[in-house]
Structure 1
Amino acid sequence: MPENFVIIIPQFNDWEALNLLIQKINADLAPHILAHTTLLIVDDCSSKPRLQPFAFFGGKEIKVITLYRNLGHQKAITIGLSYAAEQLDADKVIVMDADGEDAPVDINRLVDKSLEKPDTIIFAERNKRTEGFVFRFFYLIYKSVFKLLTGKVITFGNFSLVPRSRLKNLVRVSEIWNNYPGGIIKSRLPYDAILSNRARRLAGESKMNFVSLVLHGLSAISVLVDTTAVRILILSIFMSGLAITFIIIILFLKIIGNATPGWASTLGSALIILMLQFFLISLFLVFMVLQYRSQQNFIPALHYRDFVEKVETFS
């Protein structure tokens, strides 16, 4: 029997780009994939109404999930995954953006890679980006900070393929509610990647600005808060040890009379304050992690329905 595909597309006020994307999906998807594909559009409580009907879709059908409130890109993806896992007969689920920057032609390559590794989540890793220098510069900083704080390398975004065998596991990973790729890294589900070039936006303007990028980066790091806290704790202990070492050296110099008057006490006081700050940071992180672990987790597969206003089907 042929496999059934579901393409999840979260969107917020991107109706024009979405229609152009549907046309590209029709043109670029392999016929045997397109014929058995359902488009699952997650409308993240758009403030602008859809003025035009959907472009002709050559697949099975288009379903639109409308949310009660705007939740953001990551949560909209999670709700789409949870709905697909419960309501749709999907052998493979593809997640992509509505703006067209995720090229539909790469879906064919994701499917081919999935045939090689059938029980693995496949991401489209960015080989070449089309954003401006400033965005690419700060994105590089984000990846570097992510690796420094978590010990993990993140080179991919949301564009991915999830096989049926992993979908039921994934929608019970609470961390994908905050950050989809970070949650998959935290879940330890197997994943791999193909290289892809980011396409250009089909219509409208990108909603990703500097503030959005910072928030996205923080949400990804927060998913791995346990590892981040331990690494910062180790750094704090190291810096405290370094401060104590310098204080001992300063006291030794003062005892033997080689310290400049006033210099030893000033530097020693500064180092003590620095050591106390590192100690307080470590203490705060320990309590933060303990509180995080004591909270009841949000399970997308169980709680996603609370945010779904309606589901419409378009043939």
Structure 2
Amino acid sequence: MPEKYIILIPQFNDWEALNLLIEKINTDVAHDLLVRTSVLVVDDCSSRDRTEPFPIFKGTGIKVLRLHRNLGHQRAIAIGLSYIATELPCDKVIVMDADGEDAPRDINLLFAKSADLPDTIIFAQRSKRQESFLFQSFYLIYKFVFKILTGKVITFGNFSLVPQRRLQNLVRVSEIWNNYPGGVIRSRIPYDGVPIERAKRLAGSSKMNFVSLILHGLSAISVLIDTTAVRILIFSILMSGFAVAIICVILFLKLIGNATPGWASTLSTTLLIVMMQSFLISLFLVFMVLQYRTQQHFIPAIHYRDFVEGVETIA
């Protein structure tokens, strides 16, 4: 029996770009893949209705999954994956953005890599980006901070291929509700990557501003909050040791009479207060994380139905 594939595309008010993307899927995806592929659009409660019909899709059909409220890109992906896992039997799912920055021609590369690693999630690793210098600078800072706080390297976004076996694992990972790539890293599901250049947006303007970019980065880090909390605690302990060493130097200078009157005691007290505050806050964060582990988590595969308004079959 031939395999079936689904392209999952979350979108919010990006109907024009989405239409152009479907046209590029028709032309750029290999024919033997396209004829076995359908598209599932997750409409993240768009505030604007479609003004133009979808172009004719050369695959097996298009469905639109409408949500009751706007949840954001990452949660729309989690809901779409959960819906596919429970309602739409398929062999592989391709996750890509609606704006065209994930080029349809690269779907062929993801499938080629998946043929070598059939039970592995394949991500598009960004070898070159098209954004402004300022955006790329902040992105490099984000990757550095992510590495320092989590001990992991993140070089990919949402564009990926998920085999059926791993899909059933993935939709039971609560962390994908906050951040899909971070959730995959946290889940320990095997993943690999293919170096791919990021394309340019097909239409409209990006809805990712500076604030939303920071929130997106923090959400990725929060998925690995337990590791982050322990690393912050270790850093706090190291800094406390450094502060103790400075205090010892200050006391030595005071004993040999080289310290300005009042300066040694003031600086030592300040360092001691800062040291204790940082250590206690870090320790409190670790205990909060450990307490969180005992709570019942949101499982996308179970709870996604609460947000689905309906499903529309286009073709």
TM range (shorter): over 0.9
The residue that corresponds to 2:39 in the other structure is 39
Deviates more, 1:97-106 or 1:274-283: 274-283
Please report how far the alpha carbon of residue 212 of structure 1 lies from its aligned counterpart in structure 2 after TM superposition: 1.1
Give the match for residue 131 of structure 2: 131
- Counterpart residue identity of residue 89, structure 1: P
Deviations along 1:4-37, one digit per CA (max 9) or x if unpaired, are: 1000000000000000000000000101111010
Could you tell me how far 1:281 is from its partner in structure 2?
A: 2.0
Q: CA deviation at 1:284?
A: 2.6
- Report the number of matched residues: 315
Question: Where does residue 9 of structure 1 map in the other structure?
Answer: 9
Aligned twin of 1:205: 205
Q: Which residue of 1 aligns with 2:157?
A: 157
| Structure 2 counterpart of 1:224, one-letter code | L
Q: What TM-score, normalized to structure 2?
A: 0.98
Instruction: Judge which range, 291-300 or 228-237, deviates more.
Output: 291-300
Deviation of 1:258 (Å): 2.4
Counting only pairs closer than 5 Å after superposition, residues 37-186 of structure 1 correspond to structure 2 as 37-186=37-186
| Cross-structure match for 2:188 | 188
Q: CA deviation at 1:305?
A: 0.4
3-state SS in 2 of match to 1:99: coil
Deviates most, 267-276 or 52-61 = 267-276
Q: Tell me the CA shift for residue 248 of structure 1.
A: 2.0
Give the Cα separation in 2 of the matches to 1:95 and 1:35: 18
Partner of 2:20: 20
Q: Deviation of residue 230 (structure 1)?
A: 0.5
Alpha-carbon shift at residue 2 of structure 1 (Å): 2.1
Q: Write the distance in 2 (CA, Å) between the matches of 1:269 and 1:293.
A: 37
Deviation (angstroms), 1:239: 0.7
C-alpha distance in 1, partners of 2:24/2:49?
22
Partner of 1:297: 297
For residues 18 and 280 of structure 2, the distance between their equivalents in structure 1, rounded to whole angstroms, comes to 49
1:264 CA drift (Å): 0.7
- TM-score normalised over the length of structure 1: 0.98
Runs (4 or more) in structure 1 with deviation over 3 Å come to none
Contact 2:226–2:286 (Cα < 8 Å) also in 1: no
State the partner residue of 1:233: 233
Query: Aligned equivalents of 1:283 and 1:127: distance in 2?
Result: 39
Greater CA drift, 108-117 or 254-263: 254-263
SS in 2 for 1:52: coil
Give ranges in structure 1 of 5+ residues lacking alignment: none
- The code of the aligned residue for 1:20 comes to L
Q: Secondary structure at the match of 1:159?
A: strand
Q: Distance in 2 between matches of 1:301 and 1:284?
A: 32
- The CA distance in 1 between the partners of 2:213 and 2:281, in whole Å, is 25
Which whole-Å CA distance do the structure 1 matches of 2:312 and 2:291 have between them? 40
The one-letter amino acid of 2:239's match is: M
Q: Following the alignment from structure 2 to structure 1, what is the Cα–Cα distance between the partners of residues 26 and 288?
A: 48
**2-side partners of 1:187 and 1:159: how far apart?**
18
Q: What per-residue deviation string (whole Å, max 9, x for no partner) do you get for residues 131-157 of structure 1?
A: 001111101100000000000000000
Cα shift readout 1:212-247 (whole Å, capped 9, x = no counterpart): 110000000000001000100000011111111211
Partner of 2:224: 224
Offset from partner CA, 1:264-289 (integer Å, 9 cap, x none): 11211221122122123213312321
Deviation larger for 291-300 or 45-54:
291-300
- Indicate the residue corresponding to 1:249 in structure 2: 249
**Helix, strand or coil: the match of 1:123?**
strand
Gaps of at least 5 residues in structure 2 are none
User: Does structure 1 conserve the Cα–Cα contact (< 8 Å) formed by 2:146 and 2:221?
Assistant: yes
| Deviation (angstroms), 1:257 | 2.0
| Counterpart residue type for residue 191 of structure 1 | Y
1:273 aligns to what?
Answer: 273
Deviations 1:107-142 (A, max 9, x none): 011001000000000000111100001111101100
Residues 190-233 of structure 1: per-residue CA shift (max 9 Å, x gap): 00000111111000000111111100000000000010001000
Cα separation, 2, equivalents of 1:235 and 1:62 = 51
**AA aligned opposite 1:174:** S
Matched to 1:255, the amino acid is L
Q: Output the CA distance in 2 between the equivalents of 1:162 and 1:5.
A: 10
8 Å CA contact 2:6–2:94 kept in 1: the answer is yes
